[in-house]
Amino acid sequence: MRADAVRGHLDGLLLAVLEPGPLHGYAIIAAVQQRSGGVLDLRTGTIYPALNRLERLGLLSSTWESVGERRRRCYALTEAGRGSLAGERTAWDEFTTAIGSVLNPAAPPSPAT
């Protein structure tokens, strides 16, 4: 899938995969890929700036976690992030309904006789 197809929906994707609980960056990428059946393959250069932006907006919080000698940052939804995710879902439903109505219009009504 083209990268520009995800543009505008990245925030919703990231918030949705964090809804069940905190994840580190690579796990977020893997979750998006798994949930999309392998269709969406986000790059680290795409998600980390988005995660940092979402954190600055107060939609995510992060903590550092040590795994062996490695440290990684784990991200979690805030209450504001949960509210934003609900808004993203509503906007997605409206968008797909509108696009679906154009791409797959219902059969025209039969003329009255």
pLDDT tens by residue, 71-107: 999 999 999 999 999 999 999 999 889 988 889 887 6
Quick one: pLDDT at residue 67? Answer: 82
pLDDT band at residue 41 using 50, 70 and 90 as cut-offs: confident
pTM: 0.84
* Tokens (6 digits) for 34: 């798994």
Contact between 80 and 58 under an 8 Å Cβ cutoff? The reply is yes
Please tell me the predicted confidence (pLDDT) of residue 110.
64
Asked if 47 and 28 touch (Cβ cutoff 8 Å), the reply is yes
Give the angle 35-1-50 at the CA atoms, nearest 5°.
65
